[in-house]
Amino acid sequence: MILLRYIPISNMNFKDINPLDCGEEKCNPGFRRGPIIFDYYLLHYVFSGSGVFHIDGTDYVTSKGQISIIHPNKVNVYYTDDNNPWHYSWIGFETSLNIHVIKNNHLITLPQAEHIFSDLKNADKVQKGREYYTCAKIYELITLLEHLDSTVDATYDYVAKAKNYMDINYPLSVSFESLASSLGLSRNYLGKIFKEYEKITLYQYLTNVRLVKAIELMSMHHSSVSDAACRVGYPDIYTFSKAFKRKFGCSPSSYINKLT
């Protein structure tokens, strides 16, 4: 084995993606590793050559453009082809994310990821912020993997993006036309699929977000009714109070008094 690069990474204990191990190898004929267990995900991208990963009783033959996925706490053995040994780059990481393609596969073909692993094997050139750099590259890889994930509901993805937009922009003047356009959809279609999944309209969802935030401001931060109305996106206290009473059956002041 010729270890071309081992790239030291500090364990930053990042919550979602936490890089731990990175490097590049060119294998000699007869190279073999294992049985071995890792307690994190370990991905190998093959630049050239071929070999075998033996995981869960199955042999996976890997060659150029493929990524082998070793799962945490799984016994595995891998060895190169004697006549055409591997040249690969690897990245090891922990994750709390439910990345279906990684979780449900041991081998994927993804030649379009070569530039990501080329960047990873050159991460030793990044002296400051290397952990953030490698983490960003893993997220870039996940973006490519999403296109392979048949479990992702593309329609609900529009709904999730719409919800996130309203969760963040509720203090502003929200245009559902502009929101739909930014998703590449018509206003009517976005409204239709949103109600199918959420059982309420876009307007009702935005109203709920605003009113819940207003209650938080008034009860926890002691904002006045007029201040809370302004800060959650209502043009005046009268419009806010009307929406509040329609939702909760009483005025904002009465509601807050009941909480205290």
How much is the mean pLDDT over the chain?
Answer: 90
User: SS3 of 164, please?
Assistant: helix
pLDDT of residue 238: 93
Model confidence at 2, in pLDDT bands (50, 70, 90)? low
% residues pLDDT > 70 (the chain)? 97
pLDDT of residue 157: 81
Model confidence at 104, in pLDDT bands (50, 70, 90)? confident
Fold type of domain 2-146: Jelly Rolls (2.60.120)
pLDDT tens digits, residue range 42-94? 999 999 999 999 988 889 999 999 999 999 999 999 999 988 999 999 999 99
List the Cα angle 34/36/37 in 5-degree steps. Answer: 160
The average pLDDT across 201-219 equals 94
Q: What is the Cα–Cα distance from 232 to 171, expressed in whole angstroms? A: 4
pLDDT of residue 3: 65
Select from 96, 104, 90, 97 the least CA-distant residue to 137: 90
Domain parsing of the chain, residue ranges: 2-146, 153-260
Q: What is the Cα–Cα distance from 183 to 195, expressed in whole angstroms? A: 16
Model pTM?
0.68
pLDDT of residue 150: 57
Reported CATH class of domain 153-260: mainly alpha
Q: How far is CA 172 from the centre of its chain?
A: 26
Residue 36 in tokens: 């071995």
